[in-house]
Structure 1
Amino acid sequence: MENETGQGDGDRSLAPAVTRAVAVLDMLAANREESFGPSELGRRLGIAKSSVSNVCHALAQGGLLRQVDGEYCLGQRLVEYGEAYLAGVDLVQQFHAACLELAEDEEETLQLAVLDGSDVVYLARRGGGHPIRLVSEVGRHLPATCTAVGKAMLATLSERELAERLGADQELRGLTANSVRTRAELDRQLSEIRARGYAVDDEEAGEGIFCLASTVPTRSGTTAAVSVTLLKARHSREREQRLVELLRKLVGDLAGRLGSTGVRG
């Protein structure tokens, strides 16, 4: 027999009002294209109409429900809670979990980074079968314009955002003789990245190092990117295309774990 919590007598809730509220939200989420009045919700849930009315009124006051012509549907506040949850997902943990899904014999180094002003910050790395000495140690800041992960993330920004991050100076910081040095050259590269779908660092952050990168859509507002790095001596056009596919697979898996969809270049 059900009681006013919508549960059997053997499953009595310690907080009946909360249990009723969860039941109402679950019902509306399962029928997200419809709205229901208290009578219909009570009938479907086995809860007294008066209890449902009180619950719905309180949820609407808190923005969790929206009332339209005497019926209720989900409210905007739930979106904020969802975004807060997604923002709390451990990006580094999910990166390592996604890396485990790749072939165990993968030879190249994988890295995760985020933007911090005009720099990138490296958060995690999964070493490959070929040891590489990198300037991009975990926790280190590097100029975004010198790295594949940085340029991939910069390519997603508007002109206003780029100006805010890079400033008015047309001369850019460099790390090697191959680093991009001017805003004009950077803008040209960013256009290529948007068209190609991934960024390239050809000995721009470190001599003898070649890197490919793509952004990870997170829905939480964090701008992140992952990269695959190899020795320049190992680079070939054929290997690059294979690594681009690896990168896309990693981005897709990681985006799914972070509650997002789609791949951005």
Structure 2
Amino acid sequence: MGRRVPAVSRALDILELFLDGDGTLSAPEITRRLQLPRTTVHELVTTLAARSYLVPVPEQPGRYRLGVRTYQLGSRYAEQLDLAAEGQQVARAVAETCGETVHVAVLEEADVIYIAKVDSTHAVRMVSAAGRRLPAHCTAVGKMLLASLPPRELAERLPAGGELPGMTPNSITSPEALRAALDEIRERGFASEQRESNPDVSCVAGPVRNRTGRVVAALSISVPMIRWSADRQEELAALAVRGAAQLSERLGHHAG
């Protein structure tokens, strides 16, 4: 383990004080309860307030309460918990329908992280695990998620020049080719990849939306090439999109 940073620990100690009582505190109260120097508390509170982790209480000068950033972090944590649990249930139902391996994944920087997985019932199947991390542009789930990003955010996650890392000879390594592929994904509403992350496996994926309509995950179906065909891709793509829509409904999304 790395060394703990005292200033960060003290800032977190301050935030955790607000879990008790009526949820409001003054700097002198924080100083007394944590036995910290007054100047240190003043600097930490000022910094937390500047970042919206704390906000002044209206009509109570000198007192603070938790700010909107703590709510946003808590909401994201709860969303991820719900997504993993609900995703596992939907993935199981989809896997029972098609007999293939089903994943649910989220985007983290330029990678995807698998948060739910149900194995194929076939003897020949994809070997993977929840928690695995892969380059987004090499996977169907990742391309689905990248295609759902606003242009500016997509540009921030992809290199301006040079090649993208590949996992197989079929991986897309050109940023221009990837952008063209993402345009196609937006038009047809699902993503696919053929032996781009695994030389023996192809996948299709659909978008998972939260209650606000934002794409927060993707659901994919992975198939060994011995069971892959154009007709099978079309059939499984429709199933992946339906499964993703079912998961979206569980997260509170209602299609218009």
What secondary structure does 2:86 align onto?
Answer: helix
Q: Select the structure of larger CA radius of gyration.
A: 1
1:170 is displaced (CA, Å) by 3.3
Q: Deviations over 1:167-220 (max 9, x none)?
A: 323310110000001111001100111111111110000101010011100137
Q: Are 1:164 and 2:156 an aligned pair?
A: yes
Measure, in 2, the Cα distance between the counterparts of 1:186 and 1:234. 26
Q: Deviations over 1:27-69 (max 9, x none)?
A: xxxxxxxxxxxxxxxxxxxxxxxxxxxxxxxxxx9xxxxxxxx
Q: Are 1:254 and 2:247 an aligned pair?
A: yes
Which 5+ residue runs of structure 1 have no aligned equivalent? 1-60, 62-76
The letter for the 1-side match of 2:185 is I
Aligned partner (choices 87, 90, 99) of residue 82 of structure 2? 90
The letter for the 2-side match of 1:108 is E
Q: Deviations over 1:105-136 (max 9, x none)?
A: 531110011000011111111111224243x4
Matches within 5 A, 1:29-40: none
Q: What is aligned with 2:43?
A: none
Aligned partner (choices 93, 102, 105) of residue 113 of structure 1? 105
Q: Are 1:205 and 2:197 an aligned pair?
A: yes
1:84 is displaced (CA, Å) by 3.5
1:245 is displaced (CA, Å) by 2.1
What secondary structure does 1:192 align onto?
Answer: helix
Q: What is aligned with 1:145?
A: 137
Question: TM (normalized to structure 1)?
Answer: 0.63
What secondary structure does 1:223 align onto?
Answer: strand
Matches within 5 A, 1:168-247: 168-219=160-211, 223-247=216-240
CA RMSD of aligned residues (A): 2.6
Equivalent residues of 1:171, 1:181 under 8 A apart: yes
Measure, in 2, the Cα distance between the counterparts of 1:124 and 1:88. 11
Measure, in 2, the Cα distance between the counterparts of 1:106 and 1:129. 9
Change in Cα spacing, 1:170 to 1:242, as seen in structure 2 (3 Å) is: same
The letter for the 2-side match of 1:262 is A
What secondary structure does 2:141 align onto?
Answer: helix
Percent identity over the alignment? 37
Change in Cα spacing, 1:133 to 1:243, as seen in structure 2 (3 Å) is: closer
Measure, in 1, the Cα distance between the counterparts of 2:248 and 2:113. 19
The letter for the 1-side match of 2:246 is D
Equivalent residues of 2:208, 2:247 under 8 A apart: yes
Measure, in 2, the Cα distance between the counterparts of 1:167 and 1:210. 25
Query: How many pairs align?
Result: 184
Which consecutive aligned stretches of 4+ in structure 1 deviate over 6 angstroms post-superposition?
none
Measure, in 1, the Cα distance between the counterparts of 2:80 and 2:142. 23
Question: TM (normalized to structure 2)?
Answer: 0.65
The letter for the 2-side match of 1:141 is R
Measure, in 2, the Cα distance between the counterparts of 1:163 and 1:196. 22
Which 5+ residue runs of structure 2 have no aligned equivalent? 1-57, 59-67
Equivalent residues of 1:217, 1:261 under 8 A apart: no
1:99 is displaced (CA, Å) by 3.3
Matches within 5 A, 1:60-99: 84=75, 87=79, 90-99=82-91
